Amino acid sequence: MKENDKEKVQNEKSGGFVVEIYEWLEAIAFALALVVLMFTFVFRIVSVSGPSMQPTLHSGDRIVLSSLFYTPKNGDIVVVTQPNSHDNEPLIKRVIAVEGQTIDVDAEADTVTVDGVKLNETYILEQDIESEGDAYEFPITVPEGKVFVMGDNRNDSFDSRSPGLGMVDEKYIMGKAVFRIYPFESVGGLK
């Protein structure tokens, strides 16, 4: 092989290596951008703080939220960012009633009814409902664009019954909790 041919082959090899590295870097950058976009607009990971969602969720649990095209529904677990008197921190609660529904919280009978139907709440910590300082006189109809939320641990929950929060505007709902990713022994879907 001539000296010029050897030099030409060497340049092609080194040029091919640079192109290959560039292609790999481009693929990695694209993948990272896609992951960032997914976790910014479609999914988010949130940490649970406090006892208000026990026994369903515990302080320290990590959950995945789905937020793309989300519309609140009864029974959904959501993260609420509505300004509140509880240090304005995000709150994790369960949607009990949506706009147009009438909710009645009867502390004497320890029942919650929506549109006259008693809820079958197998997920709550205890059946005994305390009613000190409720924000509303029940029954009450949820206004347009709002939801009524409660914690599963009814007697240790800052929720829509509290004057410092009240009913939640749907624009302050970050998304629906769909999956627990931590602790590892409790990984799975949420109901």
Which of 102, 99, 86, 101 is CA-nearest to residue 151? 86
Residue 155, C-beta contacts closer than 8 angstroms, at least 6 positions apart: 125, 126, 128, 129, 130
State yes or no: is 52 an active-site residue. Answer: yes
Select which of 14, 93, 171, 176 is catalytic: 93
Select which of 2, 52, 146, 162 is catalytic: 52
Cis peptide before 139 (omega within 30 of 0): yes
Facing residues of 147 across strands?
98, 168
Radius of gyration of the chain (CA): 25
Indicate which residues carry an active-site annotation. Answer: 52, 93
